[in-house]
Amino acid sequence: MKSRFNSAGRIGVAATSVLALGLLAGCGGGSGDDSGGDGGGGETGGGSANTLQKIKDAGSVKVAIAGEAPYSFLDDGELKGGSVAIIKEVFGSMGVENVEAEKVDWGAQIPGLNAGRFDVVASGMSILPERCANADFSHPTIMYTTALMVQEGNPKGLSDLKSVKKADDVKLAVLAGGIEAGYAEDMGISGVTSVPDAQTGMDTVANGRADAFAMTAISLNYMADNNPNVPIEVTEAFTAVIDGEKQIGSGATVFRAGDDKLRKAYNEALEKNVLADKETYLNVVGDYGFTAENLPPKDLTTKELCAGEVG
């Protein structure tokens, strides 16, 4: 795979919003795979000796979200989304009943995590080699496909990123730091505009400042369904192909490199309470439009995705 970037009930939630900080990402060596070392009981990152114990003692976990529906977003102050539902289910099974959310721009999430501003990232972030160099990931949690949001009627006749590249006069919007930005760069697509969030991407297309907005298909369809009066539509989902290789993508929860006890405990609960089978998976994320197709296959590993060996 040659991609460059990437994406209730019982739990009490407190949500705050912060400005993105220009922090430098620390360089960790973790692969996000449980075959690695245990960390020797002395977890690093954020100055905490043991993040798992700290979270359990507090009964609360602080997570970063991107504000991208249907993965992680705020709805009238309530924290919602498929990635959030996974976090709630997993930490709830570990006895952690409170989730605090901090809305953070994509580019600031891993730097903020490494600086100790929050405990984990719960934005459905894609597992990519460049990101694995700076943080660790849980088991894959959500499989991705890509789509294009276009103006109503699709006047340019666009269908995928190849069609964007073939057309000389197409202006493409991508999420800054998103996996589609990497696709566009690898494919040599010109006329690309970066936007800070999904809402801006939709507005950019609706106002004619871009001909298409590339993002995960489920996000674009969710936006279109919830904005019926906006003159946009979404193409059929597709899997990007770069240099003849399909770009297989999956999101996951993100941890500081060195928070091995936390990551391993999380993965154990994740396997049992979310990834066990299709029915269990849909009971957790189905309310947000995710389907059985989003459930990662059993043989897909974080280690492979971090190494860029899937495609």
The tokens for 73 are: 């977003």
pLDDT in tens, 207-229: 999 999 999 999 999 999 999 99
CA–CA distance, 43 with 38 (Å, rounded to integer): 9
Q: pTM for this one?
A: 0.78
CATH of domain 12-143+251-295: 3.40.190.10
User: Which CATH class, in words, describes the domain spanning 146-238?
Assistant: alpha beta
Residue 65 or 34, more confident: 65
Residue 272, classed as helix, strand or coil, is helix
pLDDT in tens, 62-84: 999 988 899 999 999 899 999 99
pLDDT at 217: 94
Counts of helices then strands in the chain (DSSP H, E)? 11, 16
12-143+251-295 against 146-238: fold identical: yes
Least confident of 25-39, 120-134, 181-195, 200-214: 25-39
pLDDT in tens, 140-180: 999 999 999 999 999 999 999 999 999 979 999 999 888 89
Domain boundaries, the chain: 12-143+251-295, 146-238
DSSP, res 23 = P
pLDDT in tens, 173-212: 999 888 899 999 999 999 899 998 899 999 999 999 999 9
Burial bucket for residue 75 (CB in 10 Å: 0-12, 13-18, 19+): exposed
Instruction: Using DSSP bridges, classify how beta strands 146-151 and 232-234 pair: parallel, antiparallel or unpaired.
Output: antiparallel
